[in-house]
């Protein structure tokens, strides 16, 4: 059924489930060691999206970039020598407004690299053909694009959506380039 009733039950236009994936909205990426004004600017949009999905009965999952004290010795740490998202630190925690919006209502996937295979496998097991899987968060050009393409590979019959206004990249140029890449891989880009 098309209309308000199906949407109010967390369903997409055709009665399929709607999933929201909140990517790495952690203190270190918002206001910490790798934070930016662009990241800070999307916090309200991400929180509003979380609240809407909760109110409509959609499913929510969240990724947490997760590193350890040896981060600088890892391959990633050698290419990006900025300690961030060290498990258990304040920087690893979700940004306060995001944590408050989620309020324990999300499946959480810790990941040590850009994309989460565990998240993609979870969605492959729980999402059905025609479901909508929407991503928002940080960074468009690194972790959002990595997760979107993994999800598209694991869930080819689902519609993968990225809200450009609820994502931020390292730069505006790389943000836009990642959106173009995802669109060319048959992801739907909203608000571009």
The pLDDT tens digits of the residues spanning 120-179 come to 999 999 999 999 999 999 999 999 999 999 999 999 999 999 999 999 999 999 999 999
Report how far residue 41's alpha carbon sits from residue 192's, in angstroms, rounded to the nearest whole number: 16
Task: List residues bridging with 22 in a β-sheet.
Answer: 62, 136
- Greater confidence (11 vs 161) lies with 161
Q: What are residue 86's phi and psi, to 5 degrees?
A: -75, 120
The pLDDT mean for the chain works out to 93
Look up residue 165 and give its two tokens.
């206004």
- Greater confidence (12 vs 20) lies with 20
Q: How many CB atoms lie within 10 A of CB 76?
A: 14
The average pLDDT across 92-117 equals 97
Contact (CB, 8 A) for 83 and 33: yes
Report how far residue 86's alpha carbon sits from residue 67's, in angstroms, rounded to the nearest whole number: 5
Residues 6+ apart with CB under 8 A from 15: 1, 6
Whether pLDDT at 52 is above 60: yes
Strands (E), the chain: 18-23, 59-65, 107-111, 132-138, 159-168, 188-190
Report how far residue 99's alpha carbon sits from residue 30's, in angstroms, rounded to the nearest whole number: 13
């Amino acid at each position: 059924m098309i209309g308000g009733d199906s949407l109010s039950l967390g369903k997409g236009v055709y009665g399929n489930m709607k999933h929201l994936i909140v990517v790495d909205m952690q203190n270190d990426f918002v206001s910490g060691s790798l934070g930016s004004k662009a990241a800070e600017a999307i916090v309200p949009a991400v929180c509003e999206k979380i609240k809407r999905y909760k109110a409509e009965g959609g499913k929510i999952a969240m990724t947490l970039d997760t590193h350890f004290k040896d981060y600088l010795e890892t391959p990633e740490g050698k290419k990006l020598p900025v300690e961030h998202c060290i498990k258990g630190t304040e920087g690893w925690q979700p940004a306060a407004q995001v944590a408050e919006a989620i309020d324990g209502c999300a499946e959480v996937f810790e990941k040590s690299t850009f994309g989460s295979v565990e998240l993609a496998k979870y969605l492959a097991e729980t999402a059905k053909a025609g479901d909508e899987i929407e991503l928002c968060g940080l960074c468009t050009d690194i972790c959002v694009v990595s997760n979107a393409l993994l999800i598209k590979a694991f869930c080819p019959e689902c519609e993968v959506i990225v809200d450009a206004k609820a994502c931020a990249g390292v730069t505006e140029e790389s943000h836009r380039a990642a959106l173009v890449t995802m669109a060319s891989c048959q992801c739907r880009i909203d608000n571009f």
